[in-house]
């Protein structure tokens, strides 16, 4: 397993916390993507793999998205979670150019997004 650094922070859009957003860090030099989901205060913590917090050390491309497809139960007929629309500008997800450096140890990376 490569060396990882813990990554926590907050996501805001125009100064307001973003709840329920998926934050993803893709290592620029290749490797596993780390993800986290923001809470009601916009706070997130990345997970490298189950039971391992953090992201691969180095430069990462970052995306933030609130879009989710609906989830259904095993029968496929009952919705467990409704689909959600994208509320984050595409500059931060589909067309992201956002990048951050992950260092060894603890990383506090706040993502202050604007429309």
Question: CATH number, domain at 93?
Answer: 2.60.40.1120
What's the mean per-residue pLDDT of the chain? 92
Q: Is the pLDDT of residue 80 over 70?
A: no
Nearest to 16 by CA among 100, 115, 108, 91: 115
Find the domain containing 101 and state its range: 4-113
Range 35-56 average pLDDT = 97
Note the pTM of the prediction, 2 decimals.
Answer: 0.85
As a whole number of angstroms, the distance between CA 81 and CA 62 comes to 25
pLDDT in tens, 95-108: 999 999 999 999 99
Range 72-91 average pLDDT = 78
Q: Is the pLDDT of residue 83 over 70?
A: no
Q: Is the pLDDT of residue 15 over 90?
A: yes
Residue tagged 């706070």 (tokens):
43
Number of structural domains in the chain: 1
């Amino acid at each position: 397993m490569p060396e990882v650094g813990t990554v926590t922070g907050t996501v805001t859009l125009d100064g307001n916390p973003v709840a329920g957003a998926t934050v993803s860090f893709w290592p620029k030099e290749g490797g596993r993507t780390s993800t986290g989901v923001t809470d009601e205060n916009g706070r997130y913590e990345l997970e490298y793999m189950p039971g391992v917090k953090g992201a691969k050390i180095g430069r990462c491309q970052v995306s933030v998205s609130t879009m989710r497809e609906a989830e259904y139960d095993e029968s496929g007929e009952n919705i467990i979670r409704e689909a959600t629309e994208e509320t984050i500008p595409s500059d931060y997800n589909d067309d992201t150019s956002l990048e951050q450096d992950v260092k060894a140890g603890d990383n506090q990376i706040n993502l202050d997004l604007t429309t």
